[in-house]
Amino acid sequence: MENINISTLQNWKNEKIKFAAITAYDFSFAKLFAKQGIPVILVGDSLGMTIQGHNSTIPVTIQNIEYHTKAVRKGAPHIFLISDLPFMSYCQINQALKNTAKIIQSGANMIKIEGGKNLINIIKELSNQSILICGHIGLTPQYTNYLSGYKIQGKTEKDANKIVEEALSLEDAGVKMLVLECIPAKLSRIITQRLSIPVIGIGAGRYTDGQILVMQDLLGITEGKNLKFVKNFLFYNGGSIQNAIKAYINEVKQGIFPSDKHSF
C-alpha cells in the first residue's frame, strides 16, 4: 500500500475528494481499519473515556498517547497517523516542543491540539520546526469545564464569527489541517470553503473535506450515548466490522454521511 501523507490529503481537498478518518488505540483495530481502506487514523485523547473509563479526556497523559501511538503505527504502517497532545501538555513552547517530539518519535505524522488564537505563538514555533499540526476548534473536549459541558458551539452570529476568525488565524499560523467539532453545518461549510487546508468534521455536517468518528461510536458499542452526529454502521451492515468500515468510507466519499439528520 502506498503511504498516505499530507500532500495526499491536500490533493484530495483540492480535487474535492472526501475522505474518512477514525480513531484507533491498538494494533489489532488499526490493522483492520487500514486493511479496509481507512486513510487517516487519530490516536485521540478520547481514549480517556473509551479505553480508561473516565468521564472526560482530561486525565489522559502524554505517556498514554505515546503508548497507543506506537501500537497503532505498528498495525497501520502506511496510513496518515495523527495523535492528540493531551490536556495541559502544550501550554508553553518548550513543553510543546518536548512533548511533540515524543509523539512524532512514537510514529505520528501529525499532532493535534485544541484551541484558537491562544495557541498562535506555539503553532508558529512548532511549524518553524517542520512539525505538522492539526488544529481543533468548535467543541474542544479539553475545555469542557470552561464550556460547561459538551455543547454545540457557534450557534449565535457572534460565536460563529469568532470560530471563523479562529480558523483563519490557525491556518495563517501554520496548521495544515483543521478539525471542526459540533458546530452548525452552515458554519462548517463557510470555514471549509474559506480555508485552503483540509477540514475534517465531527458533528459538523456534510460539507467538510473529511469526516471522523470515534471507533466505539461508529460500531455502536458505546453505552449510554445517543449522539445526533453518530451512525451505528455495524448495525446497518450485518454485524460485520469490516463491512461497517467499508460502508463508512463509501458513505463519506459519496457525501451520504453525515446526512441532515446527523447534523446541527
Active site members: 181
Yes or no: say if 104 and 65 are a contact pair by the CB < 8 Å rule: no
Lookup: cell for 166: 479562529
Length of the chain: 264
Quick one: how far is CA 203 from the chain centroid?
A: 11
Compute how many other C-beta atoms are within 10 angstroms of the C-beta atom of residue 135: 28
CA distances in angstroms from 17 to 70, 180, 250, 258, listed in the order given: 29, 18, 12, 15
Which run of H or of E encompasses 153?
Answer: none
Strand 40-43 to strand 19-23: parallel, antiparallel, or no bridges (unpaired)? parallel
Lookup: cell for 36: 479496509
d(CA 75, CA 26): 8
End-to-end CA distance of the chain: 36
